[in-house]
Amino acid sequence: MRPSLRGENLANDTGLLLGMYQPMMVLANEGGYLMKMIHVLTLFLVVFGGLHFALTGFGVDLIGTVFGTATNLTILYIVMGVSTLYHVVPMLKTHLAAL
């Protein structure tokens, strides 16, 4: 079968990788600039949290180094957890729908 030149089957051609961020792209298009900035900020927090937990295994406290040890980190951990849910829930919905 010849690939589509008009992009009709773009989601099928690229597999689940495109589909996992599709709900967030729709939100970003409807909400405009604010939703795009929220998406970028939450993605940064997810990556930062992942690096923190990976480096903690080697004895390096990334959050303590960046924000200091005297800072109350509970709020930061809650925001990082909510950011992770913001990115994981749409991916789970996409992958579970494909089953």
Give the span between the Cα atoms of 78 and 74, in whole angstroms. 6
* Long-range pairs of 60-64 with CB within 8 A, sequence gap ≥ 24: none
Quickly list H helices, the chain.
10-14, 16-19, 22-31, 33-56, 62-67, 74-97
The token duo for 60 is: 């390096």
59-70 confidence digits (pLDDT tens): 998 888 888 776
Give the span between the Cα atoms of 41 and 36, in whole angstroms. 9
2-20 confidence digits (pLDDT tens): 444 444 444 444 444 445 5
pTM of the model: 0.61
Q: Tell me, what's the pLDDT at 9?
A: 45
